[in-house]
Amino acid sequence: MKIVKTLLIIVAALAGAFIIWNATLPANFDVKRSVNMNVAPDVISHTVSDFSTWPHWSVWFQLDSTMTYELGDPYQGVDGSYSWTSEAMGGGNMSILEYTEGQSMKTEIHFDGQGVSNGSWDFEIQDNGATKVTWGLSGEMGFFGRFIGAQMDKWVGPDFEAGLQNLKTYVESAAAKAEAEASTAPSDSLIID
């Protein structure tokens, strides 16, 4: 009986310590990562606001071969959406709430059984002509989920960094290809008879 009492005291002390620690954590989380891309902001924002491009650069499609997705109608711009299912990462859907070409995009992300988060994209032209692209995720956790929110930057940040690098490669390659095709296209020359 003494062992049971001791175990209950230990469990109660650990639970109390967790509750006190959890109470010190913020209710909100905010994860942001940025990278400069050598492409005009309107081109990058157009790419990001078109969910049919996401499988080409989003790290989550590369990390999970079981992921399947379905594009919404529409799947571009305001009210554009897509949904996904995955054995490893669960399911959910994302929709575009606000979009200003070449400037910003706001999204709402529903994770099945885990609540709603807000996504953000900002596209800012730099003095050197590059575009600073910032990808963010924010949300609010319930009291007992605050410890998860405290880990979001560590868990999601590296995926954002990899996704932004993939996006950079994707849009810069597409821009270089378009430029090469434009330079080899026949010019409109004056035909003299």
Can you give the residue ranges of every domain in the chain?
27-178
- For residue 70 the two structure tokens come to 């379905």
d(CA 43, CA 174): 10
CATH topology of domain 27-178: Alpha-D-Glucose-1,6-Bisphosphate; Chain A, domain 4 (3.30.530)
How wide is the angle at C-alpha 167 spanned by C-alphas 165 and 173, nearest 5°? 100
DSSP characters over 93-157: EEEEEEEETTTEEEEEEEETTTEEEEEEEEEEE-TTS-EEEEEEEEEE--GGGHHHHTTHHHHHH
Amino acid at 94: M
Task: Walk along the chain (193 residues) and give the pLDDT tens digit of each residue.
Answer: 778 677 667 765 565 555 555 455 556 678 899 999 999 999 999 999 999 999 999 988 888 888 899 999 999 999 999 999 988 878 999 999 999 999 999 999 998 877 788 999 999 999 999 999 999 998 776 555 555 655 567 768 899 999 999 999 999 998 888 888 877 766 554 444 4
In angstroms, what CA-CA distances link 96 with 16, 33, 93? 41, 19, 10
